[in-house]
Structures are given as C-alpha cells and as structure tokens.
A = this chain, B = another copy of it.
Amino acid sequence: MTRETTLDSRQEILRTAARLFQQRGYDATSMNDVAAALNLSKGGLYHHFESKDQILFDLMDGAMDITQRRVVDEVRKIADPEQALRTLIRLHIDVVLSVRDREVTVMLHENHPLPPALRRRVNKRKKEYVHFLENLIAQVQRGRNSRSAVSPRAAAFALLGMINWIYQWYKPDGVLTGEDISREYTTIFFAGAFG
C-alpha cells in the first residue's frame, strides 16, 4: 500500500474526531462520542489519546505536517524564488481544496481553546510557515529590484488570508474551479486585480 492509502488506527481516530468536531462542535463532542463513532471502548480510545485536547493538538499538528510535506518540502526544491513562490501558491491552494485533507486542515483556523503549552507549539509552527513565505517574498522583491512599498510581512499575511479563506466560500460545483483560483490568485498577488 502507498503511504496515501495506509491508515493506522491513530489516524482513523483523528479523522473521525475531526468530522465529529465539525458536525457537532468541538465542545459538544465528548471522548465518549468519539469512541462510540469508532466502535471503540473508552479505554481503547484513551490508549491512543490521553485527552480531547491531545486529539485537537494532534489534528492541528497533523495539518502543519501536511503543509510541510505537500508545500514547503516541494517549494524548497525550486531554486528560482519567483518560481518557488508561484509553486507555493498553487500547492497551498491544492491543500486547502483537498477533500481528503479538508477536515483536518480546517481545524487549524477554528478558535478552540487549547492549553497554553500546546497552543504555543501550534503557533510556533504557524509562525515558521509565515516566515518561510515572508522570506520567499523578500527574495522575489530583491530579484525584481522591486521598489514596492509592500512589506514582505504584510504581503505574506495577505496571501495567507486569500488562500486560507477559500474554505469559507469554495464549493466544488461552483463557477470557480481550483485551477481558476490558483491562476487568478497568482495574478492578483503578482500584478493586482486590474493588471
């Protein structure tokens, strides 16, 4: 079996929990609910996860793993900064639109209270991604001798907002396909909406 089709029980628990959290709300979903949905005993569930917080943290951490593997690792292989940035936009949008990953990645953006130590670990990884993107944008600006008044920091947040917001409005049967979004968002980010 390929890595993509292998699901160990830990991952199965995470996906089921993510689905329940979205259907019923995080707070309203108990460890009992998660165990019942999986036909697991409560002891069986606690064998894998010591608490609901731990499940939420693992979901968020797993979403960052997906971003690392499917976006950052691929982009790092590309030497030309502009080509790397265009690829990042396309691959990050692919992750957001992936049906398979959506139930996991959407958890990153919901405002659920996590214990401070776990929250800090998730935020650290989010910040690393922002800095990676910010650095790439700065390289493109230098390569173009751009006199842009836009700071790499603001540009990074603007781009992440455009892309991460897609899950709020995207419909698979809507007029805008994933390819449309990739192409048009790249144009907007590089040349504006009226370029």
Task: Determine if B150 and A187 form an interchain contact, defined as CB atoms under 8 angstroms apart.
Answer: yes
Q: Chain A 40-72 against B: per-residue CB contact (8 Å), 1 yes, 0 no?
A: 000000000000000000000000000000000
Q: B141, B149, B162, B190: which contacts A158 (Cβ < 8 A)?
A: B162
User: Copy number in this complex?
Assistant: 2
- Least CB distance from A82 to B in Å reads 9
Task: Determine if A188 and B22 form an interchain contact, defined as CB atoms under 8 angstroms apart.
Answer: no
- A176–B155 alpha-carbon span in the complex (Å): 11
A176 to chain B: which residues have CB within 8 Å? 151, 153-154, 157
Closest 10 A-B residue pairs measured CB to CB?
A161-B165, A27-B27, A27-B28, A25-B27, A155-B193, A154-B184, A161-B162, A191-B192, A146-B194, A192-B192
